[in-house]
Amino acid sequence: MQTSPAPSTASLMPVAQRPDVVFVRGEGAYLFDSRGRRYLDWVQGWAVNCLGHAPAAVARALATQAETLINPSPAFYNGPSIELADLLTRHSCFDHVFFGSSGAEANEGAIKLARKWGRLHKEGAFEIITFANGFHGRTLATMSASGKPGWDSLFAPQVPGFPKAVLNDLDSVRRLINGNTVAIMLEPVQGEAGVIPASPEFMAGLRSLCDRHGLLLILDEVQTGCGRTGTLFAYEQYGIEPDIMTLGKGLGGGIPLSALLAKESCSCFAPGDQGGTYCGNPLVCAAGVAVINSLLADGFLEASRDAGQQLADGLKAVSEEFALGEVRGKGLLLALELGRELGPEIVSRARDAGLLLNAPRPHCLRFMPALNTTPAEIQEGIQVLRRIVREVLDGTAVSSSGPVAP
Ligand SMILES: *Cc1c(COP(=O)(O)O)cnc(C)c1O
């Protein structure tokens, strides 16, 4: 009998540089590879697994919903999408929700909504002021809205209408406002740029600029939303209310689900303006309901704030011990500035030692553990990080013990 050869990675488009590891199982804070090695995961699917790997609440919701109703089509109402929209509007300043499958799709929706509103109320104004080093996704419009170096020419021509200001520089925003401006769009904490928070004064300044000029304030909370920064949404910590907000990543706890939320005053889509085959299907919305209810459970966000403080303190101690740079961020979205381009080497050595990290820029590390991580897990991760930083700075070989077997 003929057996087919084992499938190889050669059939996948090489869109990312991936290490030679295949993950087969996840449980809470840990991932397991095909050789049975265990890794403490501080990437968590790129900050999507807010409840950790394979959380029981999401697994149960998916299993029950999969046996009940997966997709009646976006042309019909379904229970879980109604329930999730109700949860989100009751716990935010928004009135209406549109569901998508990715952060980029939610941001596309936000851009379209702002342009429609500009057509209705501002004589066709369409420009959305965005920010250098911002990140909003990988579709053509969201790449154009992003300020990632090099992206302006990668798939040229860009989608027009996204002038770039500088984060935390109100004058740079003011200078870009003209008769074509309809909105200002930003991440409360620039994630991919290396975890750079907007300052409270800057955010307040943007809100009053928007009020003065009749512009919409759009917050991309794809990364900062759903408890990541210690409150359900990051805008709550700024004492302002945006007009439009987008969610993704944590919203589905690892399941592809995103949302566009708007206040009634700018929620101007009419039937036919926006949609998508998978939008708001009950399977993913059931996962979203399980996630939001978990985040809202008594003491959950408080415990995640404590975990964030413990992690920040641990990172500060490492930084002091090895004379590295600042620790910044909010909640469990933190970064350690290295002061030199050691990020990729630390990430690679930490992985060999059983700790998964991310270096969004070569000079810094980003930390995004599950929001329900325990004090013992944080201590474990900090210990591994300390050892690896010392090894890298000493230029010594990585310990050969490798990741811990379960
Ligand atoms: C990840 C991210 C996106 C894109 O989300 P996708 O689901 O990858 O499309 C958009 N904005 C921000 C702030 C993000 O962090």
> SS3 sequence, 10-33?
HHCCCCCCCCCCCEEEEEECEEEE
99 in Cβ contact with 84 (< 8 Å) = yes
- Cα gap 341→357, rounded to integer Å: 15
User: Domain map of the chain by residue range?
Assistant: 23-55+299-394, 56-296
Alpha carbon of 401 to ligand 1 centroid (Å): 36
- The stretches of 24-98 forming alpha helices (DSSP H) are 44-47, 56-66, 79-90
Mention every residue, 6+ apart, whose C-beta is less than 8 A from residue 252: 48, 58, 258, 284, 287, 288, 291
69 in Cβ contact with 282 (< 8 Å) = yes
pLDDT for res 25: 98
Q: Which residues line ligand 1 (CB under 6 A)?
A: 102-104, 107, 135-137, 187, 191, 220, 222-223, 248-249
Side chain identity at residue 400, one-letter code: S
Question: Is 249 noted as a catalytic residue in this protein?
Answer: yes
Beta bridge partners of 247: 259
314 in Cβ contact with 42 (< 8 Å) = no
Question: Is 135 noted as a catalytic residue in this protein?
Answer: yes
**29, 35, 37, 40: CA torsion to nearest 10:** -30
Beta bridge partners of 41: 356
pLDDT tens series, the chain, 406 aa: 566 777 888 999 999 999 999 999 999 999 999 999 999 999 999 999 999 999 999 999 999 999 999 999 999 999 999 999 999 999 999 999 999 999 999 999 999 999 999 999 999 999 999 999 999 999 999 999 999 999 999 999 999 999 999 999 999 999 999 999 999 999 999 999 999 999 999 999 999 999 999 999 999 999 999 999 999 999 999 999 999 999 999 999 999 999 999 999 999 999 999 999 999 999 999 999 999 999 999 999 999 999 999 999 999 999 999 999 999 999 999 999 999 999 999 999 999 999 999 999 999 999 999 999 999 999 999 999 999 999 999 986 544 444 554 4
Closest protein CA for atom 11 of ligand 1: 136
Both tokens of 178, joined, read 């003209």
**What is the model's pTM?**
0.96
Can you say whether residue 180 is alpha, beta or left, with left for phi > 0 and alpha for psi between -120 and 50 degrees? alpha
Alpha carbon of 394 to ligand 1 centroid (Å): 36
Closest protein CA for atom 10 of ligand 1: 136
Alpha carbon of 330 to ligand 1 centroid (Å): 18
Residue 104 CA, closest ligand 1 atom number: 9
Q: In degrees, to the nearest 5, what angle opens at C-alpha 21 toward C-alphas 329 and 151?
A: 50
Alpha carbon of 315 to ligand 1 centroid (Å): 25
Both tokens of 43, joined, read 């990437």
Pocket test for ligand 1, best of 133, 135, 245, 330 (most atoms within 8 A of CB): 135
Cα distances from 347 to residues 152, 197, 244, 259, 388, in angstroms, run 28, 23, 35, 31, 9
Can you say whether residue 239 is alpha, beta or left, with left for phi > 0 and alpha for psi between -120 and 50 degrees? left
Residue with tokens 């969610």: 247
Pocket test for ligand 1, best of 142, 223, 235, 260 (most atoms within 8 A of CB): 223
313 in Cβ contact with 327 (< 8 Å) = no
Which of these, 42, 324, 361, 338, lies nearest to 193 by C-alpha position? 361
Count CA atoms within 13 Å of residue 282 on its CB side: 17
- Cα gap 300→230, rounded to integer Å: 10
Alpha carbon of 192 to ligand 1 centroid (Å): 9
The single residue of 41, 220, 243, 352 carrying the catalytic annotation is: 220
Domain 23-55+299-394 CATH class label: alpha beta
- Cα gap 348→356, rounded to integer Å: 9
The single residue of 135, 162, 233, 367 carrying the catalytic annotation is: 135
Q: Is 240 helix (H, G, I), strand (E, B) or coil?
A: coil
The single residue of 249, 330, 352, 367 carrying the catalytic annotation is: 249
CATH number for the region 56-296 comes to 3.40.640.10
- Cα gap 250→284, rounded to integer Å: 12
Both tokens of 257, joined, read 């689900």
Handedness of CA 125, 153, 141, 104 (dihedral sign): negative
110 in Cβ contact with 79 (< 8 Å) = no
Alpha carbon of 391 to ligand 1 centroid (Å): 33
Q: Are strands 216-220 and 244-247 parallel, antiparallel or unpaired?
A: parallel
